[in-house]
Amino acid sequence: MKLSLFSLLACLPAAFAAFGVTTSGNNLLVDSGAGLVTTINKANGDITSLNFNGKQLQDSSKFTQLSSGLGSATVTSSVANNIAVITIKTSTITHYYIVRSGSNTIYIGTFASAEPSVGELRFIARLSKSALPNGHPNAEINGGTAIEGSDVFLVNGQTRSKFYSSVPFIRDQVHGVTGSGVGVFMIIPSVSYETSSGGPFFRDINNQGGAQQELYWYMNSGHEQTELPYRTGFFGPYAMAVTTGSAPSASLDTSFMDNLGLQGYTTASGRGTVSGSYSGTISGPAVTIGFKVRNSAAQYWVAGSGGSFSRTLMKPGTYTATLYQGELEAGTGSVTVRAGATTSLTLTSNLSRPSVIWSIGTVDGTPTGFLNADKIQTMHPSDSRMSNWGPITFTVGSSSVGSFPMAQFKGVNNPTTIRWSASSSQIGARTLRIRTTEAFAGGRPQITVNSFTSSAPAAPPNVDSRGVTRGTWRGINQVYDYAIPSGTLVAGTNTITINTISGSSGDGFLSPNFVYDSVELF
């Protein structure tokens, strides 16, 4: 059979085309000159095709877009100095796709003067499941049955959810999906989170594998969000990189974007640095220094090491600095950042560190080490792979920390009982301190010690989200101190009962609950 010249040309991979932007009907075709041709709908800014060396990576029924699609937008393009810029503009959004000649990375920036009406600002690539079948295994929901809301599923006896693909922002610089000889990855440099909300330990959806392979970067959402309203301004730069399968480097060079005149973008020369020292944290938990101006300006973070830190590329402004011991706020300070300058800052932990009689867990703002804490971020608490939640009786001095529950649900494992044999020198008036990292439906602890029952503490701050069943323990840290009167404790065996109380109702794992950080007696 003979093929026409047209047919032969149609079979050639897109990489043979030259770099640039061309118009085809209602579409812009952006050719990287290195194998990737991206098709963008001029009416709304949707990416409708991602052709990589002749392989179609875009799903054909749902497209790649900002939020749930912009509906309509003004789409323009420009090419200069081997850089193509596609600008997608609405009354409140200016979204950029930027391609450099010879690179299969789509650089992205999003300026938002207002939060979308759907209440989420996200970039979502809806990709071909056949071309890119390998996503996050805990987010593969295809063929599943919904067991909680419309976002937690049971698949072959295991719970799956898009929420179980999430990673704390401080560790989430590269995530992606792959297929045979191809991969698509989001790259999010640390500076890209500056206009997001929630701080370094906030986490959000990265992937969902259904009929499409969905790859996300969430800029704002209400998924256990502790900061409202959201920040607005320029989000990014971030990027979507197409590779032959391997993950790209997290080091994304965006310096060329300083010269593109993007709306809301702050150049490197317009930024400053904070360097300093910290002290007073306990050994073991990682140290992080966070910076933010609440609901305005920006947020930043940097890991501390050996008592020092340095955070670069910060926008000018006056920030509250927080010293984190693990994920627990241990100290604060204030610092003013100036463009082109380095400012010094000294932070000291002011956490109360009493001499304890005994403690359960580490004072670090996480339930790490407790029962099921190693699983809760990637599966539902009802999952068959979870250890039995109890109720648990914990004996001080003989029970392992790993037998103490990381979360206590009013309708599942209530109460938790602690047994302790006291010496005569350990009795008298004492304090029991319970630290928590998150609460749902007003859940908080109330204690009974032998014949004494504490008063009910006030309800914790409300965060409008399901919380721990969505795979996160990161809410608002709380401290509950209970004064145990003299004459309550006895030399010998004492029983402490911790009950989950709430004015709200709920069943099973959606009953009022809280997550433990630590329990201390002093």
Q: Pick the last residue of a domain from 251, 286, 310.
A: 251
**Residue found by looking up tokens 């044999």 in the block:** 421
Pick from 144, 121, 127: nearest CA to 61: 127
Whether the pLDDT of residue 11 is over 50: the answer is: no
Same domain, 35 and 170: yes
pLDDT per position as a tens digit, 470-510:
999 999 999 999 999 999 999 999 999 999 999 999 999 99
pLDDT per position as a tens digit, 134-166:
999 999 999 999 999 999 999 999 999 999 999
Contact 97, 106 (CB under 8 A): yes
Same domain, 247 and 274: no
pLDDT, residue 15, reads 40
Question: Would you say residue 256 lies in a domain?
Answer: no
Same domain, 93 and 72: yes
Reduced to 3 states (helix: H, G, I; strand: E, B; else coil), residue 207 is: strand
Q: Pick the last residue of a domain from 251, 276, 299.
A: 251
**Residue found by looking up tokens 């670090």 in the block:** 364
Pick from 360, 319, 372: nearest CA to 343: 319
Question: Would you say residue 3 lies in a domain?
Answer: no
Same domain, 374 and 459: yes
Q: Pick the last residue of a domain from 219, 251, 283.
A: 251
What CATH code is carried by the domain that includes residue 393? Answer: 2.60.120.260
Same domain, 329 and 378: no
Same domain, 192 and 224: yes
Whether the pLDDT of residue 445 is over 50: the answer is: yes
Same domain, 59 and 191: yes
Whether the pLDDT of residue 240 is over 60: the answer is: yes
Question: Would you say residue 4 lies in a domain?
Answer: no
pLDDT, residue 295, reads 64
Tokens matching residue 101: 């000649």
Same domain, 411 and 273: no
What CATH code is carried by the domain that includes residue 158? Answer: 2.70.98.10
Residue span of the structural domain in which 297 resides: 268-348
* Dihedral pair phi/psi, residue 514, rounded to 5°: -150, 160
pLDDT, residue 4, reads 38
Whether the pLDDT of residue 266 is over 50: the answer is: yes
Average pLDDT over residues 74-96: 98
pLDDT per position as a tens digit, 271-320:
999 999 999 999 999 999 999 987 678 999 999 999 999 999 999 999 99
Mean pLDDT value across the chain? 95
Our CA dihedral for 259, 263, 269, 272, rounded to 10 degrees, sits at: -150
Question: Would you say residue 401 lies in a domain?
Answer: yes
Same domain, 227 and 327: no
Same domain, 325 and 394: no
Question: Would you say residue 511 lies in a domain?
Answer: yes
Same domain, 288 and 368: no
Question: Would you say residue 258 lies in a domain?
Answer: no
Q: To which H or E segment does residue 9 belong? A: helix 5-11
- C-alpha gyration radius of the chain: 26
pLDDT, residue 341, reads 98
Question: Would you say residue 262 lies in a domain?
Answer: no
Same domain, 383 and 442: yes
pLDDT per position as a tens digit, 98-111:
999 999 999 999 99
What CATH code is carried by the domain that includes residue 296? Answer: 2.60.40.1120
**Residue found by looking up tokens 């047209």 in the block:** 6
pLDDT per position as a tens digit, 50-67:
999 999 999 999 999 999
Whether the pLDDT of residue 6 is over 80: the answer is: no
Question: Would you say residue 259 lies in a domain?
Answer: no
pLDDT per position as a tens digit, 176-230:
999 999 999 999 999 999 999 999 999 999 999 999 999 999 999 999 999 888 9
Whether the pLDDT of residue 116 is over 60: the answer is: yes
pLDDT per position as a tens digit, 346-388:
999 999 999 999 999 999 999 999 999 999 999 999 999 999 9
**Residue found by looking up tokens 């992937």 in the block:** 207
How many domains does one find in the chain?
Answer: 3
The letter for the amino acid at 403 is: S
Task: State the pLDDT confidence band at 79, using cuts at 50, 70 and 90.
Answer: very high
